[in-house]
Structure 1
Amino acid sequence: MSGYDYTGKVMLVTGGAGGIGSALCRRFASGGAVCVVVDIDGDRAHQVADSLPGAGHLGLGCDLLDRVGVADLFEQVAAAFGRLDVLVNNVGMTSTERFDVRPVETIEREIDLNMISPLVATRLAVPLLRASADPRIVTTVSLAGIFPQGETPIYAASKFGLRGAMLSIALDLGTKGIRVGSVLPSATDTPMLRREAVDGGNSLQFQDPPQQPSDVVAAVVSLLDRPRLEAYPRVGESLLVRFSMLVPNLLPSLLPLFRKRGERGLARYLKDLRRRGLARQVDGRWELVKEA
């Protein structure tokens, strides 16, 4: 079975200037695709677009919580290309603020960005996707869309909702010629995870060393090569969490068994960040070192 042909395909990636997003764009462009790099930081979006192999790439700044701005984004894509072959919903955020003390406004923002904005982008992209001979939608969800996260419940809520929505949309749009799939990575070594680590985030996700953006890229590529509803960068890990959810009432007893291992994994990750010059300790507290 031949793999997906990227040649000449117009592929839009939200969060395209981030760790996973930029890696996706590089992979797509290296195969001959034309990338639309979308990021809230317009300058970084332009930088990523300009750095990609090939020609015709477009970097666009867009706040995906701005409905008018998102509509304008797809109007620009329509004007530039007249179609969209692949939409990759990759934007996301998390917070280490505990649920019982965080401001309500931050809860709403996290839900809006992680769950609502991909749905809005997907809906607004449909006319452009219908102009493609082989339209696809790929969404970066998370294993947090299957397994509860005590320290980051709003992130889990947004990903549970996003996973369910994308499964449902796949069943609907699949009958209309648009193939939809999701990737569900675990902790990935990106700036977002580094921030969470130094801020004392969810230690349970550090049972094993974080995967690399390239692992998520490989899962996305596999979805394009062989369309299906979901793909998991770490299949064994996904089987463990899915099995655990067969007995959710046992979670309060099971999770403490994994917490100490996760805390040791988090400590190792922080030391690795220090070794790489990405984090340091100041007065006993960890902080990120600004990347050049």
Structure 2
Amino acid sequence: MSFDFRGTVVVVTGGAGDIARAFSARAAAAGAILALVDRRADPLQAAVDALPGVGHTAHLCDLTDEAAVRSLVDEIAQLHDRIDVLVNNVGMTSSERFDQRSVDSIRQEIEVNLLSPLVLTRLAVPLLHRSVDARVATTVSLGGIFPLGETPIYTASKFGLRGAMLSISLDLRARGITAGSVLPSATDTRMLRQEAIDGGNSLQFQDKPQPPDAVAKALVSLLDRPRLEVYPRRSESVLVRVAMLFPNALPRLMTLFRRRGERGMATYLRHLENAGHIVRRDGAPELVEPR
């Protein structure tokens, strides 16, 4: 059966991001009322304004600030009295190598990627209980299965998030809340574009990055047919899961993956430049922000 979005209250974090906007557009077109959450005011309002339908709201919130998250939940309770679908989509990464990163940046990435979805989900439980069919959908990553050598903190956060959401899914189902996760591979978002410019994790570019709408479709599929995990590109998920059966072979496998990935990242950067998404200033690539 298809999930019936009509009249549902759907809360989406990272609401100004590409994946969130693609999913929110689908949900709004199907009749949902969206509450988009982000810390960037102008992109957030633009995302809300672009949605079809009426009643959608923008909520500025730093999800690493517990007091702010509690206020966010109170706002949504006052506006809607419930949450039918919570989509944990916020995320970040850094191309700084582990031996060069500050301790504060490590803590921040763990806070954003791992702790903030857990805290928001926990604080949202009372509002989810007011729904007749409560759902939680979390965007994780294939980096939650396969270690990404250049971005170990991102990997740590996604390994932890995947495990936590699997456990939460098993726990909450007995309490009337259905939860699951989507594990995408590289997706053509602003975050990935910046990472490519910064010389980030080449392992992500084994294949051409998928469009954000592919992940949005997977999120909708997760609501249509609840499962613990969904993979937008099943073939890639099979490859990484098989590779993890032999963890001691990873140093040799990484060499093969990295060579292909470096070629893929170079191709991706050329595509971005040809499409006008990046420009070169003094020879260095720079991301062009959308107007």
TM over 0.5: yes
Report what 1:6 is aligned to: 5
Structure 1 position 51, deviation (Å): 2.0
Q: Distance in 2 between matches of 1:254 and 1:65?
A: 36
2:119 paired residue number? 120
TM-score computed with the length of structure 2 as normaliser: 0.98
Cross-structure match for 1:45 = 44
Matched-pair identity in %: 60
For the residues of structure 2 that align with 1:199 and 1:46, how far apart are their CA atoms?
A: 28
Letter in 2 for 1:229: L
Secondary structure of the residue that 2:105 maps to in structure 1? helix
Show the 5 A alignment for 1:250-289: 250-289=249-288
Residue 176 (structure 1) aligned with residue 180 (structure 2): no
* CA shift digits 1:18-72 (9 cap, x unpaired): 1111111111100000000101113322222122111111111101011111100
- Give, in whole Å, the separation in 2 of the partners of 1:27 and 1:126: 24
Q: Is the 8 A contact 1:15 1:90 kept in 2?
A: yes
For the residue of structure 1 that corresponds to 2:99, the secondary structure is: coil
CA distance in 1, matches of 2:41, 2:127: 22
Q: Per-residue deviation at 1:283?
A: 3.9
Q: Could you say what secondary structure the match of 1:268 adopts?
A: helix
Shift of 1:285: 2.5
Segments of 5+ residues of structure 1 without an aligned counterpart are: none
Moved more, 278-287 or 174-183: 278-287
1:291 positional shift: 2.3
Q: Which residue does 1:227 correspond to in 2?
A: 226
Q: How far apart are residue 261 of structure 1 and its match?
A: 1.0
**Any residues of structure 2 matched to 1:1-292 within 5 Å, and which?**
2-292=1-291
- Give the Cα separation in 2 of the matches to 1:258 and 1:67: 39
Structure 2, unmatched stretches of 5+, are none
SS state at 1:96 partner:
coil
- Amino acid corresponding to residue 6 of structure 2 in structure 1: T
Output the amino acid matched with 2:75. Answer: Q
Q: Counterparts of 2:236 and 2:36 in 1: how far apart (Å)?
A: 30
- Dislocated runs of 4+, deviation >6 Å: none
**TM score, norm. by length of structure 1:** 0.98
Question: 1:265, CA displacement in angstroms?
Answer: 0.4
Cα 1:55–1:175, aligned 2, differ >3 Å: closer, same or farther?
same
Separation in 2, partners of 1:257, 1:46: 43
Moved more, 16-25 or 104-113: 16-25
AA of the residue aligned to 1:4:
F
**Cα distance per residue 1:188-234 (max 9 Å; x no partner):** 00000000000000111101000110110111011000001000000
Q: Is the Cα–Cα contact under 8 Å of residues 279 and 287 in structure 2 kept in the other structure?
A: yes
2:83 is matched by which residue type in structure 1?
L
Task: For residue 147 of structure 2, give the secondary structure of its aligned residue in structure 1.
Answer: coil
Q: Are 2:23 and 2:217, in contact at CA under 8 Å, matched by a contact in 1?
A: no
